[in-house]
Structure 1
Amino acid sequence: MGRNRRSRTPSNPKKNQATDIKMRRYKRDMDQIHADMKDQGASKFKEDLAKKDLEDIPGLAQHTCVACCRYFADAVSLETHLRGKPHKRRLKKLAEEPYTIEESRRAVGLGVDKGEYGRKKEQELKDEAERVKAGAPEATMEA
């Protein structure tokens, strides 16, 4: 008795569909929503609505949750959503300030004080620039 024949398909076809499904459900990132919340989301939602057909949006886009970037069919479903746990979790995440570009650069090490060695190099560059301005001949290195 031998073992069962292996499947001849090279990979799982559902794996290939996973990224498509993710992008279909994609709404907006947290930093984008945080920017929307500053002006109550009026400008962003108007821009998004101009791109979409109102007939395709639930409730003709009358009942919206700006924090979750969702549309609801009626006021009752919006109220239940506002009382729900996922909405409250999203509000808690949005209460934190998102990272800025400067913070991310500092985390990598760009724009950070380099300590004594960096200060010494900066001082040498300043001295060199002052010597050039004064017209003094540059020191030549002899081997």
Structure 2
Amino acid sequence: MGRLRRSRTHKGIKDVTKKYRLKRKTKDLDQIQQDLMPENKEKIENADLDADLPGQGQHYCIECNKYFIDSEANSKHKASKVHKRRLRQLKVPAYTQKEAELSAGMSTTSILGEPQQSSLIRLKRENDAKKELANKMSLD
């Protein structure tokens, strides 16, 4: 007897299927928060009609980055759990590049603009000071 082989051998490989899953790709939260700024929001709301988009791009939910066919579908969406969950996620402000560098100890200035040492250097100095105090107390 010959060797039996299953058909569709690559069907269950998750990383291959996720790699090409772009159909439901949406904007990240920080990109949506930029769209919600007043100057950007006006541009999006007053956009021209586009025949390629559902409802010619007239009915758009900025928070979820979705187009709808008519205003009824848009209003149903805004009452849904999905939309409310996205609103809760957008309440948390996005991290800035300065905050990311500061938390990684790469920045030399704090968020307020004050000069600051690298966090690792600062922690090392604080630990050294604690050790010196402990040594002095043990000698006394």
Q: Measure how far apart 1:6 and its partner are.
A: 4.1
1:11-33 per-residue CA deviation (whole Å, 9 max, x = no partner) reads: 33774343222x23212111010
What's the counterpart of residue 122 of structure 2? Answer: 115
CA distance in 2: counterparts of 1:30 and 1:63, whole angstroms: 20
Q: Higher relative contact order at CA 8 Å, sep ≥6: structure 1 or structure 2?
A: 1
Q: How does 1:80-119 map to 2 (within 5 A)?
A: 80-111=76-107, 112-113=118-119, 114-115=121-122
Contact 1:63 1:75 in 2 (8 A): yes
The SS at the match of 1:24 is: coil
Match 1:76 to one of 63, 69, 72: 72
Which ranges in structure 2 are unaligned for 5 or more consecutive residues? 108-117, 126-140
Contact 1:36 1:42 in 2 (8 A): no
Q: Measure how far apart 1:106 and its partner are.
A: 1.9
Which piece of structure 1 moves more, 101-110 or 65-74?
101-110
Which of the two has higher C-alpha Rg? 1
TM-score, length of structure 1 as denominator length? 0.63
The SS at the match of 1:55 is: coil
Q: AA paired with 1:90?
A: R
1:46-92 per-residue CA deviation (whole Å, 9 max, x = no partner) reads: 7xx67xx8222111111111100111111111111011111011011
CA distance in 1: counterparts of 2:123 and 2:69, whole angstroms: 63
Q: CA RMSD in A?
A: 3.1
Does 2:34 align with 1:38?
no
Q: AA paired with 1:115?
A: R
Q: Measure how far apart 1:98 and its partner are.
A: 0.2
Q: AA paired with 1:72?
A: F
What's the counterpart of residue 12 of structure 1? Answer: 11
Contact 1:33 1:67 in 2 (8 A): yes
Higher helix share: 1
TM-score, length of structure 2 as denominator length? 0.64
